[in-house]
Amino acid sequence: MKSTFDSGPQSTSTSDAESPASALSPGERIKTLVILGASGDLTGRLLLPGVAKLIASGRAPGLKLVGAGNDAWPAQQWQDRLTESFADALAPGGVSTADGIAELKSVQADSTYHQLDVTAKGVLGTFLKTVEGPVALYFALPPAVSQKACEILSTEDLPAGTRLVMEKPFGSSTESAQDLNATLAKLVPEDHIHRVDHFLGKSTVLNIMGLRFANRLLEHSWNRDHIEKVEIVFDEPLTLENRARYYDHAGAGRDMIQSHLLQIMAIMAMEPPATLDEEDVRSNIAAVLRASNVGEGADLERYTRRARYTAGTIADRAVPNYLDEEGVDPANGTETLAEVEVFVSNWRWAGVPFILRSGKALGRARKEAVVTFKPVPHLPLGFKGTDSPTRLHIGFGPETLTLDLDVNGPGDLFTLDRVQLQASLASDPLLPYGEVLDGVLSADPLLSVRGDTAEECWRIVEPTFAAWKANEVPLEDYPAGSLGPDNWSTSNDES
């Protein structure tokens, strides 16, 4: 299968699509947000609350909201869903303003739900002709359903300025991602496609870039000569939470590492872009991913780890064995904790492992990137205490910065003690989906995953997933509420 993006970053400025859908003027905002899969869990739990906060903050004026799904929902059931999802945003305080709350109430009152089979030829296209454009068409659907729906769309079906918003996972393999990219390229230009990764909120991306590129001290040492390893960790105490239908087929590797953590890694490792323009930033992200592979050879048992939680206790809550959770099929061999070591084969990062880890049912929430610097070449004889490595922690939600240093005292000036310098970083008060949707509605693709990088993320991890499926890497256990298997170094990090 030939990739749509074989020609490299320059291919993102053109498209096979020549249609009114590409006719959105610079600065022209989306008028209508159409959510496909509006009756699904993702829409109610994450997407609609994000939309609500965005509108209530006054940052989505004049937006219309339309829901569509397979379920035969009466109008009142859709309104009940909106009432539940909008509750926090409608409460005064936080980011909500009086005018924004009034706008949100108006949006809810005017919002409609439509039962549609988006995989039936002509149905979605006919429906879109009744919607005011420009339109953001949000596919809150499984990848295979999104693929089929797009295959039967034509450029004539799309209102002028249409933006296609694709929820992760984007495809289920390199080949399926290539197929979906090829399909989308026939409908709209690449910069009208938003592949949503809610980890790529504006505050997360810009905080990393600002920290790196605005501080000579850091940028000077941000390379293989000074850095020993980089860890990107997303551990959470949440368990399956009634998501077996999706999660038991995805697992921690596909759910988090394949998408979110590889994207964060690429931002941590990218070269300085000339500008913050989406083409400059996304091209530098793509360059990192093209140079990346799991491990430094074929020994994936050495460079990857996987585990699954057993019965345990988190806080005061008893958690059953994962295999006893409702909807779980033991034959799937699903991991709930995964870790891979990625190496970026370029001048800056050769030999430095980027350790990506994510898991569920763990004893603490840990969401951060940790940069561990190499030891000093020589510590003068006479110092006592522990000479610990200098480490920089970048926290995600809340956005924080912590620098671990060894300093003298207090007390004996010859004894080194550990101190932490801490700071809060700027953050957007919007929910993650609100941040991403803000870029969609304002026609800014900066925070969206570009097509070639979506393909590269699958290429990087597919050998690992194949090795896991073949049981070439053992599936370990850890009790729910623990920090993971004791023999994993990342499980013993008390930072």
Task: Give the per-residue pLDDT at 137.
Answer: 96
Per the annotation, does 80 bind a ligand?
no
Check the annotation: does 198 bind a ligand.
yes
**What was the pLDDT predicted at 28?**
65
Residue spans in the chain of domains classed CATH 3.30.360.10: 202-429+450-492
- Please report where in the chains the tokens 């501080």 appear, as a residue: 215
Q: Which residue has the tokens 């803000």?
A: 438
CA separation for the pair 29, 193 (Å, rounded) = 15
Second CATH level (architecture) for the domain 9-196: 3-Layer(aba) Sandwich (3.40)
Residues of the chain with CATH 3.40.50.720: 9-196
Annotated binding-site residue? 202: yes
In the CATH scheme, what architecture does the domain 202-429+450-492 have?
2-Layer Sandwich (3.30)
Over residues 405-415, the pLDDT tens digits come to 877 777 777 77
d(CA 248, CA 322): 10
pLDDT of residue 494: 67
Catalytic (active site) residue 194: no
pLDDT for residue 20 = 43
Binding site annotation covers 84?
A: no
pTM value is: 0.88
360 is in an annotated binding site: yes
pLDDT score of 462: 95
Q: Is 105 annotated to bind ligand?
A: no
Kindly report each contact of residues 420-423 with a partner whose C-beta sits within 8 Å and lies 24 or more positions away, as own/partner.
none
Query: 27-46: per-residue pLDDT in tens?
Result: 568 999 999 999 988 899 88
**Would you state the pLDDT for residue 14?**
37
**8 A C-beta contact, residue 44 and residue 84:** yes
Q: Does 220 count as an annotated binding residue?
A: no
The one catalytic residue in 194, 260, 378, 393 is 260
**pLDDT tens for the 495 residues of the chain, in order:** 444 444 343 333 334 444 444 444 545 689 999 999 999 888 998 899 999 999 999 989 999 999 999 999 999 999 999 999 999 999 887 889 999 999 999 999 999 999 999 999 999 999 999 999 899 999 998 888 888 999 999 999 999 899 999 988 888 899 989 999 999 999 999 989 999 887 777 778 888 999 999 999 899 999 999 999 999 999 999 998 888 888 999 999 999 999 999 999 999 999 999 999 989 999 999 999 999 999 977 789 999 999 999 999 999 899 999 999 999 999 999 999 999 999 999 999 999 999 999 999 999 999 999 999 998 888 778 777 776 889 999 998 778 999 988 777 777 777 777 788 999 887 777 777 888 888 888 888 888 899 999 999 999 999 999 999 999 999 999 999 999 999 999 998 866
